[in-house]
Structure 1
């Protein structure tokens, strides 16, 4: 078998071997990103009680309850699409995060519930894996 074909097959095997967020994201980095970019609205513990939450027309949700609100499964696709701006968030009026393009960058694949890969930036993959880790 040609060397490049072997490399592609090995890469695909590694990608589909396990949960995408575990392969693509770093929990500690995700937590640090959350504290820097998200805690002002969502709170240090991601419970929707950040210092600016009371000034918002629509309060930020308790992000520790995302899985509970979606039949016990962390809604990785739903969350990723809201953070990266593919889905607009009415309370923001703009794509989230409203502070700009920080969550752009080198793309990595994550696996969505259908088993299909979705490309997201590395910072977003880190944030997703941290958010998944805090579900109650």
Structure 2
């Protein structure tokens, strides 16, 4: 009986330990957002050479040079506006990139329709995570 209890306890400890090691893995939300929504056009490295880039009317931006092209400062506000896309400036011409602010808001409505939840929090958190990841792509 004692050996059986020790075996069961050992098995439980092993299961808990393996579960904890899996829980210690960090989820990179920004990277996942990028892979889900941006990679096809902007490419794995963010250089604008994604698998669908050749289908675009206009070349996808090289996201690795945003800081370099902005005098060494990451253009956070501009990147946010481009990703969110809900406020289009008429003088900037047509918009080729999807309006992720609207897309994220729709998803928030589908996921949180039964609870009192401000969908803007959901939209902003996804955009901020994505921007943080794009900032890490800078060369």
Coarse TM-score class (shorter-chain normalised): 0.5 to 0.7
Structure with greater strand percent: 1
TM-score (norm. length: structure 2): 0.60
1:57-96 deviation per Cα after TM superposition (whole angstroms, max 9, x unaligned) = 1100110110001001000000000110124674635753
Structure number, greater radius of gyration: 2
Of residues 27-36 and 60-69 in structure 1, the stretch that sits farther from structure 2 once superposed is: 27-36
- Relative to structure 1, the CA distance from residue 27 to residue 58 in structure 2 (aligned partners, 3 Å threshold; closer, same or farther) is farther
TM-score (norm. length: structure 1): 0.62
SS across alignment from 1:31: helix
Q: Does 1:102 align with 2:116?
A: no
Structure with greater helix percent: 2
Q: In 2, are the aligned partners of 1:31 and 1:130 still within 8 Å (CA)? A: yes
Q: Separation in 2 of the partners of 1:49 and 1:27?
A: 25
* Runs of 4 or more above 6 Å deviation: none
Unaligned runs of 5+ in 2: 1-25, 109-118
Larger relative contact order (Cα-Cα within 8 Å, sequence gap ≥ 6): 1
Determine the structure 1 residue equivalent to 2:70.
70
Q: Separation in 2 of the partners of 1:39 and 1:65?
A: 16
